[in-house]
Amino acid sequence: MIGSLLIANRGEIARRIIRTARRLGVWTVAVYSEADAAAPHVREADEAVLIGAAMARDSYLKAGAILAAAAATGAQAIHPGYGFLSENAGFAQAVIDAGLVWVGPPPEAITAMGLKDAAKRLMAKAGVPTTPGYLGDDQSPDRLAAEAEAIGWPVLIKAVAGGGGKGMRKVEAAADFAAALASCKREAAASFGDDRVLLEKYVTRPRHLEVQVFADKHGNAVHLFERDCSLQRRHQKVIEEAPAPGMDAAARAAVCEAAVKAARAVAYEGAGTIEFIADASDGLRADRIWFMEMNTRLQVEHPVTEAVTGQDLVEWQLRVASGEPLPLTQDQIVLNGHAIEARLYAEDPAKGFLPSTGPLTHFRMPAKVRVDSAVEEGGAVTPYYDPMIAKLIAFAPDRTGAARRLADAARAVEVFPVKTNAAFLARCLDHPDFVAGAVDTGFIEARREALVPAGGAPAAALKAAARAWPTAGGPSPWGALVGFRLNAPAGFEVRLEDAEGAHVVRVDPAAPALQVPTARIGDRVIAFAAGEAFAFTAPEAGHGAGEGEGDDAVLSPMPGKVVAVHAAKGEAVKKGQPLVTLEAMKMEHALAAPMDGVLAELTVKAGDQISEGVLIARLEPAA
């Protein structure tokens, strides 16, 4: 077994690898950027090395700095985690050339599967069914537009070097193709240094399936069954589960056998995931499931496979990298129960899922489920990395029980002042269609209004905040004398204020306790209800609604880089029309006009780096 391991990553995956390594007696070395100096993975490793500034390109993407850290600490092996350099064949080869053990597949396999167009050609040759589309070398806009027209609308544009939903656009009609192609290429170049794309036929009711495969240095290759990753938003996975709902024995055998065939075709070693797209318009059928791509690394969603197979996949990785054979043969791997994982993001669903940054003054994760967290209370969410702050994983004997347990866990999340998608996750898991297994990649968008409802604080949150307010039965009797009279009904009134306005709440001290936790933070009381945080102040505290810029202003919701400006000063614009595209947290975010009007003020240009809260544009009503 490897004696010492450098983890070339951060956050929850670094912590996850450290846990298994410690159990196996492997010494661990963490690397970190200046922004992560106080991060949990730095403290939990046996040793830690600073490798650069906050931006990933100045730290976690600096292969030389990582190799130097391995040399300085005497690490025997490097585990890349996922993201960053995990699928970089050049880095893998550099690790091997340095005399270190690479905990991953051979560089040749990474290269073979790293470009989606080449990988699809290879899979077709190996007899693995592939999605219809265009894989040509001619990347001119005219040729791509012509091929898209020939495929038929809608089509999917995908970066050939892509992953994680970046560099991917669905296009509904020819008129939208040029703009989508330009945006896709720009994002692909920024994320992967390669703006080439391929085209695929967009399946109208697609299911995203994937199979966990493992291979060793002795010619053995197995699968650990499938996962369903269909619940996505902007092609980013949100909820994943194993096994796939509605998968019968014949379809499972076909897709799992195809995955092992794909791994053998590239002489694979270690952990990998073969991703498939399924046309679910008539259920999951073996003849309507096609190879999409291979991820030559461990996946974010690997815990659901661990739960249903009872295996530690990081341990498997370390054993395979150490030269050992696979721990189990195919017939020894047993599928048991059901597991579902939800990705907890630092984002605000009410504001179009824009990422949320800032300090984690209050951070409580639920009990009774597995939590793989990237952060802790007292830490912060920065704008430099992916906004996923934790994964919640529930296991039960059946799918219904797993969904119920995970929904309860999402409702128990308490985070402030950073916004999260916990309540949104609970609504997804509770939705009757999800419970029935009627899932596809359009699930969230088709039910957006139900999953992100409008409205302010629920009555339970108001009552809980009022009961927790310092004057509610506290040392000052005067705070409870609103409308005082001798024959008043039992209880008293408390005046509170939040972003929606002022509220008067009657408190009955004799009423049963509410199942809504609260916390006092500064001059505010925070009520945590169903996965959301609601902040209240007294009216005189000065946090009233209407502070800051008005409805005619567009402010930067986070620090980031302006990558495109879509309108000019003096131009008439419509509500919802994109004005500026901001790149932050590894994604592009379109900032739209809040009203119909004329663009009276525009303060940014493409290439500008801006801070959170900066005025970007101001509108005036049209004359």
**458 burial via Cβ count (<10 Å: 0-12, 13-18, 19+):** middle
Paired tokens of 163: 């992953």
**193 burial via Cβ count (<10 Å: 0-12, 13-18, 19+):** exposed
Nearest to 355 by CA among 392, 391, 382, 379: 382
Residue 506's DSSP bridge partners are 493
Residues 110 and 104 sit within 8 Å (Cβ to Cβ): yes
The number of beta carbons lying within 10 Å of the beta carbon of residue 214 is 25
Question: How far apart, in Å, do the first and last CA atoms of the chain sit?
Answer: 75
Those residues with Cβ within 8 angstroms of residue 329's Cβ, 6 or more apart along the chain or in another chain = 220, 222
Give the up-direction half-sphere exposure of residue 252: CA atoms within 13 A in the CB hemisphere.
16
Torsion of CA 319, 324, 330, 331, to 10 degrees: -100
Torsion of CA 227, 233, 239, 240, to 10 degrees: 10
Distance between CA atoms of 409 and 413, rounded to whole angstroms?
Answer: 7
Residue 297 annotated among the catalytic residues of the structure: yes
Give the up-direction half-sphere exposure of residue 537: CA atoms within 13 A in the CB hemisphere.
15
Tell me, what DSSP letter sits at residue 514? P
Query: Cα–Cα distances in Å, from 231 out to 141, 227, 246, 432, 433?
Result: 31, 12, 15, 14, 12
The number of beta carbons lying within 10 Å of the beta carbon of residue 171 is 22
Please pick, among 16, 297, 319, 343, the residue that the annotation labels catalytic: 297
The number of beta carbons lying within 10 Å of the beta carbon of residue 595 is 14
Nearest to 531 by CA among 350, 375, 372: 350
What is residue 168's three-state secondary structure? Answer: strand
Residues noted as catalytic: 297
